[in-house]
Every structure is written in structure tokens, then in C-alpha cells.
Structure 1
Amino acid sequence: MYEDRVLELLTLTDPGLIKLDEAKSDQLLGLTNNLLLFIRSQIPIAKRLLKSYSSEAVLDPSTAHPKLIVSSEGDCVTFTDVWQDVPEHDGRFDTTLNVLSTQRWDSGLHDWEIDVSGKIYWELGLTYPSISRKGQKEDSSAAFLEVW
């Protein structure tokens, strides 16, 4: 008896069996449009909410390996095969392809949006300020996520 009721319910809700007259169609279309307008109106609020949980990372070009080019805004880094003519100082990485941010986070949760569109291969790593910057040392590499 229970199976018959479930089967009947499934049969009644089969989209192919539902008959819509013009009034029901217009009502359904109006509800759909209102729902889409409501969702669209919530997008700016959702973006602000998500942004409130994210952390801005500004990259420090003075720490960048000479084969890394940091954008003028400090929000993007690009690898190049060409060794850049950059000033030499103790804070710059010379063997590992690293760059530090200008911010420091000692605790908490932090999110970043990473755009790797159009890339075949990329690496994302996290490092720390006390990491060795010069020469090949065991502690001069970061924890990397490699994707092919």
C-alpha cells in the first residue's frame, strides 16, 4: 500500500505529465523571473561578505627572485626565463623562486583568490619570513602545491 502511494506521487510529479495552461505558465515564468532578480540583487552582498573573509596579499618585489616579476600593484607575480636586473640585497631570494608578501599573519584563517587560467603548470607555496634567502639550503624551500 505504501509503495503504491509513492509510485502514485512519483507519477503525478513527472514533468512530462504536467499540463500547464497559459495562466499557469505566465505565473511560473513570473515566479522564475522574480527569483532570478532576487538572486541577482544578492550578488553584491555576497561578494562583500566573501571579501570580508579574505586577506589582501601584497607581494614585496624587493624579496622576489630575479626570475619573478611582481606587478606594480603587488598583486600578481609572473615567472620569466630572463634574469631581471634587480638590486642585490640580503632580503632577495637568489636560488629558490620565492617572493614574500608585505603583510605578516601570525594566526587566523586567511583566503586568497589565485588566477591560474591559461596555465599548463603552476606552483603555489607558503613560506615564512625567516626562510633562508641565499644559496641552496635545506630550509630554503617552501611548502608547495604543484599542479599539472
Structure 2
Amino acid sequence: MIGANLKEEVLATNTYWTCASCYQCSVRCPAGIDIADMMYALKRYSMWKGQYKEGLIGPDFSEAFVKMIVNSGRSFEPILAATYLPKYSARDIIREGLMATGLVLSGKMPLLPKKVKRLKNVQRMVRRIIPIGETK
């Protein structure tokens, strides 16, 4: 479908959001097509175009993750989860909260994020590779 220039039809399927990035398809493809990279490209393109079904966790997570990297220079799970979990059920929020509490109490996750040196450099770099705020 991509080769036939059916972009809108491909984006409407949202199938690429279910890709687990295991690369099994890329490894096994007899034509040598890197299907996993195509799935990544479709995810980025659909977000850039703003064309994906509501309620998918992938786009919400990706958007929250990129914003966090731009703002702080690194990922910090408690803040990241707080930015996208409210869009989902109370059961999901409670489950994630319990898991996070266990990670903090066991010392596997810090309570506060570490500072990034030269944050402006990180922000400049990210903005060069990700078209933040641009739509087409």
C-alpha cells in the first residue's frame, strides 16, 4: 500500500501502533525489507500529521516522552506516566501507581529526576531531529 502511494489508507489502519519492535519481520523478510523501520516511520509520520485513532496509548506516550526529553533532557518515569495515564481508566492508574511505589521503595527508581548538564544543547539537538510544533 505504501508503494502504491495509499498514504491515507495506511495511516487509517493504525496497525503500525501494535508493532512491538521485535524486528522478527525484518529478519525474516525474504526481500530484505526492514519492516520494523517502516513501522517506526509510520508512527512518526502519523504523529507529525496528527492522524491516528483517539485512545491509542502509543501516540500519547510518544508525545509525552518527546515533550519530557525536550523540557528536561531525560526520561523520568513518574512524571512521564502522570502526563498520559489520566487519559485511561482508574484501574490502570492504580496499577501503575502501585508498581511505581514499589520501585521507589526498593530503590530501583529515584524519587526526583537527576539534572542534565548543558540542557540547552540537548534541547537544540532534539529540535533538529524532531519537528516539534510543525504540522503539515
**Greater length-normalized contact order (CA 8 Å, ≥ 6 residues apart):** 2
Which TM bucket (shorter chain)?
Answer: under 0.3
Task: Select the structure of larger CA radius of gyration.
Answer: 1
**TM-score scaled to structure 1, two decimals?**
0.20
The structure in which a higher percent of residues are strand is 1
| Structure with the higher helix share, 1 or 2 | 2
